[in-house]
Amino acid sequence: MATQSSFDVTSNVDLQEVDNALNQARKEVAQRYDFKGSKASIDFDAKESKLVLIADDEFKLNALWEIVSTRLVRRNVPVKNLNRGAVQPAANTTVRQEIALQQGIPSEKAREIVKFLKDAKLKKVQAAIQGDQLRITSSSKDDLQEVMQVLREQDFGVALQFGNYRG
């Protein structure tokens, strides 16, 4: 009997890297001329995995988002896992925007990935949803490599990481 090989597909964000990127973004905002005297702030709630951006108007809010997203990309934090909420009016004529950090693969995305793998007609490859991650198993290591390649080429709206390989 052939041994089963497997790996896990996850989608996680390193919260420490997010915090480091936001600290860099705060320093940049404090130094930028176009933010002098404005009420721009970046708040991060690690427990709820949520960012809150506050600025004077929507134009400055978008500039603030550009700074934050640039810093996150430089720290290798997947920006795909950030879900921007609607811009809302806040106190003192400011606007605010909540940004949720997606930890793990949501169940509807996991079902979409499993369906995609079944439609790809890869031989002897099974995908199982385990909470907020997927376990891909096969008797052939080459098939597992092919699954990784196919998943990298497809965009599912979340950043996928491959790990926990068992041969």
Sheet holding 125-130, edge to edge: 125-130, 133-138, 5-10, 161-166
Q: How far apart are CA 118 and CA 121, in angstroms?
A: 5
pLDDT band at 1 (very low <50, low <70, confident <90, very high): very low
Helix (H) or strand (E) holding 126: strand 125-130
For range 92-96, the mean pLDDT: 88
Please report, rounded to a whole number, the percentage of residues in the chain having pLDDT higher than 70.
Answer: 99
Burial 14-39 (b: 16+ CB within 10 A, else e): eeeebebbbebbbeebeeeeebeebe
Whole-number pLDDT of residue 50: 93
* pTM for the structure as a whole: 0.82
What are 1's two structure tokens?
Answer: 């009997």
Question: Cα–chain-centroid distance for residue 104?
Answer: 9
Domains and CATH numbers, the chain: 5-11+105-166 (3.30.70.860), 15-101 (3.30.70.990)
Q: How far apart are CA 165 and CA 68, in angstroms?
A: 33
